[in-house]
Amino acid sequence: GAVVSQHPSWVICKSGTSVKIECRSLDFQATTMFWYRQFPKQSLMLMATSNEGSKATYEQGVEKDKFLINHASLTLSTLTVTSAHPEDSSFYICTGGGAGGETQYFGPGTRLLVL
């Protein structure tokens, strides 16, 4: 099946710094990837839809200036959490694939802890 990787798998940063998370499709081309956020003991919430070569589409309540998404190629989408604060601490997961009726695949996730 299709493989999605994420990097880093976990990151600890100080409040006010920016963190970049990479999501790569390793064996397929992804014109669309999705970014989800999962707080402890909660469900996965869609943050944004990342579109290759165009602007991302953000869900209501997600600040586009804080969560910058770039999808410059068919195999890489990045999420940058700018000026991170402790409330941004969460598990960030990307997904890709699913086109043509195939299964959508989750990346392994990135655990972010902002001190």
The distance of closest approach from Cβ of residue 36 to another protein in the complex, given in angstroms and rounded to an integer, is: 8
Given 3, 16, 55, 102, the residue binding another protein (CB under 8 A): 102
Given 11, 19, 34, 112, the residue binding another protein (CB under 8 A): 34
Q: Does 93 bind another protein (CB under 8 A)?
A: yes
Tell me the C-alpha distance between 34 and 12, whole Å: 23
Q: Residues near 79 by Cβ (< 8 Å), separated by ≥ 6?
A: 20, 21, 23, 35, 47, 50, 67, 68, 69, 92, 94
Cis peptide before 8 (omega within 30 of 0): yes
Q: Does 45 bind another protein (CB under 8 A)?
A: yes
Q: Does 5 bind another protein (CB under 8 A)?
A: no
| Residue closer to another protein, measured from CB, 46 or 68 | 46
